Amino acid sequence: MKQDLISKLKAFVADHKGNVAIIFAFAAIPIFIGIAATVDYSRAAKVRGELAAIADSAVLTGTTPAMLTQSTATARTAVQNMFAAQAQTIRGQTYDATQLTVNVADDQQPNYIKRTVQLNYNASVPNVFGALLSRSQTSFPIQSTAATSNAPNIDFYMLVDNSPSMELPATTQGVSDMITKTGCAFACHENDVADSENTVHYKGWGTIDSYTFAKNSGIALRIDNVRDAVSQVATTAQSTMAYNGATYRMAVYGFNHDFATIQSLLATNSTNVSTIQASVATLTPPLMAKNNCLADYSDAARTKPQNYVYPTATGKTTVSLNGAAANTSGNCFKSGNAGINYSLYNNDAMTDFSYAMARVNSVIPTPGNGGAQSGDTPQGVLMIVTDGVVDAAVYSSSDCGGGNTVSISNTYGSFKRCHAPIDPSVCTTIKNKGVRIAVLYTTYQPVESDSWYVGHVKPFISQVASNLQSCASSPSLFHEVTTNGDIRAALADLFQKAVTTAPRLTH
């Protein structure tokens, strides 16, 4: 019996006719298993990719600007609903809500909110060849995280130097043209259309002032570029808040010897931007009667009385110049004094920075964090545009802060004309209440041929930029623009420093 079995095995081995079939049969088993695994893996990978994309979109839903104004619970529901709605459309798997976890957390920082959205989903895809592989399904995790720092709501307060020094041409070519054509670098905005300072009688001399001549001749002045730059900020604010979901408001103030509200605080939305820009277009240095002498009205038709602000022992006093202070001829000589004493003589003391800062401080409230939570209020940013040189009437020399003074007098009293760099301490007062200050320094143009500049401004000109830098809240919020520089780009850059980044996706 044993011998017969051995003989049959030897015969089987010796028979070559069935070898290939048998070998293939044995080899086919792992091949089929491999094919089955590949098919099931490919199906699972496809579903995984689709679910991952849906998860990314879902978590970003919780970090949109609109959603940042909602509670974390509302954001969580929105993310869950979006993921569920999309996941149920994917073929090859069955969505299981019990396997979805969404966490939304807000981290309140001093000036913004950081929101983090985390999504975790345990997915399962049935295997086509589950019986063959002894594995009925393929399971895998889906994870996605989105984090964003929301752009804070900000109120921008634009404080613009609107004094006669801003009537300097904006380019060196413009300065050269004004000197050549009028005999004076500055475009003087005054009633005296036959100004003796204009040693060259320009076209229209005796009929129009040199400010109007510059405008007619296409010579851009600094005040022109400043108006353009401030108007552009309103447009930029509108487009930026449309992108990041923040709310920006803007107010504009002008200062010289006085302080004026050009535009009260207004949201920079599409409805209001044109209103803001129309107000900015009215920014014009005060009308003078003649050199060193303020006009009683701000228009040639004498329909808009100007204010005159003068110092006293206890502060500042403001009077409306409705014509009573000047004689009917429209000049500012006090009758009977042969020009020795003028009723509105101020010796061009027309840039009172400290007074402007005190006034703007009184209108800017204590800012909030700029968040959307109930009770929070916008951040505050004060943007100052100035050449940084104080030229103001003060009550006594001790009020000039170490600058130089000359005596002046008019109907309202005897004062000192103070020349000095700005006092950074007036900025500190505003910064201490939480308002950030950005400064655009339009470089004070040295005029070495001008004896007044050499004697009264040049001694401290090296301190002007450094004092303005000290006024700014940080080095990045200070920008200097020299003659020929791009004021619009510089002011836009300062604005952008206050804007946070868009949402970012992390894994």
**Distance between CA 368 and CA 24 in Å, rounded?**
79
For residue 23, the model assigns a pLDDT of 56
Residue 343 forms part of a structural domain: yes
Say if strands 154-161 and 248-255 run parallel, antiparallel, or are unpaired. parallel
Lowest-confidence segment of 2-6, 46-50, 187-191, 473-477 by average pLDDT: 2-6
Q: How confident is the model at residue 341 (pLDDT cuts 50, 70, 90)?
A: very low
For residue 79, the model assigns a pLDDT of 97
CATH classification of the domain holding 304:
3.40.50.410
Q: Are residues 425 and 343 in the same domain?
A: yes
Domain boundary among 121, 149, 177: 149
Q: Are residues 141 and 226 in the same domain?
A: no
**Distance between CA 65 and CA 30 in Å, rounded?**
54
Q: Are residues 315 and 427 in the same domain?
A: yes
Q: How confident is the model at residue 114 (pLDDT cuts 50, 70, 90)?
A: confident
**Residue 191 clears pLDDT 90, i.e. is over it:** no
- Residue 263: partners with Cβ closer than 8 Å, 6 or more residues away: 250, 251, 252, 275, 276, 279, 280
Q: Are residues 322 and 451 in the same domain?
A: yes
Alpha helices in 389-486, H assignment, sequence order: 425-431, 451-452, 461-471
Residue 476 forms part of a structural domain: yes
**Residue 246 clears pLDDT 70, i.e. is over it:** yes
Q: Are residues 319 and 338 in the same domain?
A: yes
Task: Say which residue, 321 or 438, is predicted with more confidence.
Answer: 438
Lowest-confidence segment of 212-221, 273-282, 325-334, 473-482 by average pLDDT: 325-334
Q: Are residues 357 and 407 in the same domain?
A: yes
**Residue 75 clears pLDDT 80, i.e. is over it:** yes
Say if strands 379-386 and 154-161 run parallel, antiparallel, or are unpaired. parallel
For residue 133, the model assigns a pLDDT of 53
**Residue 473 clears pLDDT 80, i.e. is over it:** yes
**Distance between CA 129 and CA 60 in Å, rounded?**
37
Range of the domain at 279: 154-168+221-500
The encoded tokens of residue 353 equal 């920075």
**Distance between CA 421 and CA 6 in Å, rounded?**
117
Mean pLDDT of the 460-474 span: 95
Mean pLDDT of the 396-400 span: 92
Q: Are residues 94 and 234 in the same domain?
A: no
Burial (CB count <10 Å: 0-12, 13-18, 19+), residue 381: buried
Read off the pLDDT of residues 207-220 as tens digits, 9 standing for 90 and up.
999 999 999 999 99
Q: Are residues 298 and 351 in the same domain?
A: yes
Residue 42 forms part of a structural domain: yes
Q: How confident is the model at residue 147 (pLDDT cuts 50, 70, 90)?
A: confident
The dihedral sign for the CA sequence 127, 130, 132, 133: positive
Residue 176 forms part of a structural domain: no
Helical (H) or strand (E) element with 265:
strand 259-267
Sequence length of the chain is 507
For residue 399, the model assigns a pLDDT of 92
- Residue 422: partners with Cβ closer than 8 Å, 6 or more residues away: 353, 354, 386, 388, 389, 390, 464, 467, 468, 471
**Distance between CA 412 and CA 317 in Å, rounded?**
10
Mean pLDDT of the 146-159 span: 87
For residue 272, the model assigns a pLDDT of 97
Please say whether the beta carbons of 386 and 408 come within 8 A: no
Q: Name the DSSP letter for residue 267.
A: E
**Residue 148 clears pLDDT 70, i.e. is over it:** yes
Mean pLDDT (the chain, rounded): 84
For residue 5, the model assigns a pLDDT of 56
Lowest-confidence segment of 33-42, 130-139, 168-177, 445-454 by average pLDDT: 33-42
For residue 335, the model assigns a pLDDT of 45
Q: Are residues 368 and 491 in the same domain?
A: yes
Q: Are residues 143 and 160 in the same domain?
A: no
**Residue 460 clears pLDDT 60, i.e. is over it:** yes
**Residue 464 clears pLDDT 50, i.e. is over it:** yes
Helices 72-87 and 19-61 pack at an angle, to 10 degrees, of: 150
What percentage of residues in the chain have a pLDDT greater than 90?
54
Q: How confident is the model at residue 411 (pLDDT cuts 50, 70, 90)?
A: confident
**Number of independent structural domains in the chain:** 2
Residue 384 forms part of a structural domain: yes
Q: Are residues 324 and 467 in the same domain?
A: yes
Mean pLDDT of the 362-368 span: 95
Mean pLDDT of the 283-297 span: 86
Residue 280 forms part of a structural domain: yes
Q: Determine how many CB atoms are found less than 10 A away from the CB of residue 27.
A: 10
User: If we measure between CA atoms, which residue out of 259, 268, 247 comes closest to residue 362?
Assistant: 259
**Residue 249 clears pLDDT 70, i.e. is over it:** yes
**Distance between CA 5 and CA 203 in Å, rounded?**
132
For residue 337, the model assigns a pLDDT of 44
Residue 334 forms part of a structural domain: yes
Read off the pLDDT of residues 303-327 as tens digits, 9 standing for 90 and up.
888 889 999 999 999 988 876 554 4
Mean pLDDT of the 35-42 span: 56
Q: Are residues 293 and 258 in the same domain?
A: yes
Mean pLDDT of the 439-445 span: 92
Domain boundary among 119, 149, 179: 149
Please say whether the beta carbons of 180 and 274 come within 8 A: no
Mean pLDDT of the 189-200 span: 87
Mean pLDDT of the 94-116 span: 84
Q: How confident is the model at residue 196 (pLDDT cuts 50, 70, 90)?
A: confident
Residue 188 forms part of a structural domain: no
**Residue 362 clears pLDDT 50, i.e. is over it:** yes
Q: How confident is the model at residue 6 (pLDDT cuts 50, 70, 90)?
A: low
